């Protein structure tokens, strides 16, 4: 897993050609390469990542603003020639609280399920709240199960042939 920097200007500073070279190098040594584009997914430099991607995971907060932002990302991808990535995407509703709030999560989940190949809910977990290093054994059982379901949803995409273009 190659994580993005928290500062989107760092992603912008790296050009498309550099991304493509880095991906080719990683693919020579690893069967699976996971890249986090961070907040810079809509930047032109990340086209190298998108061109090389077999599938994407789009993460949303369980809120209207979070869902709008994630849906806007999917819109941008479709409008810029990446419809195949949207159709094969896994959407994640992250940090879903156990108490029912004002947001209709079923409706948000239905929206992403209609646009993407799968949609998975990850429950809020106090162990992840600090944003520090996570220890799997300290996660609640339902959180571990949700992450396992997310991994399974992503793995289904491995069995489908990639569609480049």
Which residue ranges form the domains of the chain, and what is each CATH number? 1-53 (no CATH), 54-165 (3.40.50.300)
pLDDT digits (tens, 9 = 90+) for 74-97: 999 999 999 999 999 999 999 888
Q: How far apart are CA 34 and CA 12, in angstroms?
A: 19
Confidence of residue 155 (pLDDT cuts 50, 70, 90): very high
pLDDT digits (tens, 9 = 90+) for 110-121: 999 999 999 999
Q: Which single residue is written with the structure tokens 């209709």? A: 104
Is this structure's pTM higher than 0.75? yes
């Amino acid at each position: 897993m190659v994580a993005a920097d928290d500062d989107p200007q760092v992603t912008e500073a790296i050009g498309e050609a550099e991304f493509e070279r880095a991906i080719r190098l990683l693919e020579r040594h690893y069967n699976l390469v996971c890249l986090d584009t961070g907040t810079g997914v809509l930047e032109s430099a990340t086209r190298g990542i998108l061109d090389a991607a077999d599938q994407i995971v789009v993460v949303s907060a369980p809120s209207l603003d979070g869902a709008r932002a994630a849906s806007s990302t999917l819109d941008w991808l479709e409008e810029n020639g990446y419809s195949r990535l949207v159709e094969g995407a896994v959407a994640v509703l992250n940090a879903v609280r156990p108490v029912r709030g004002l947001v209709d999560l079923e409706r948000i989940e239905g929206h992403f399920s209609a646009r993407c190949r799968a949609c998975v809910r990850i429950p809020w977990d106090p162990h992840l709240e600090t944003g520090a290093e996570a220890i799997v054994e300290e996660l609640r059982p339902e959180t571990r199960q949700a992450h396992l379901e997310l991994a399974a949803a992503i793995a289904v995409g491995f069995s489908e042939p990639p569609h480049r273009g």
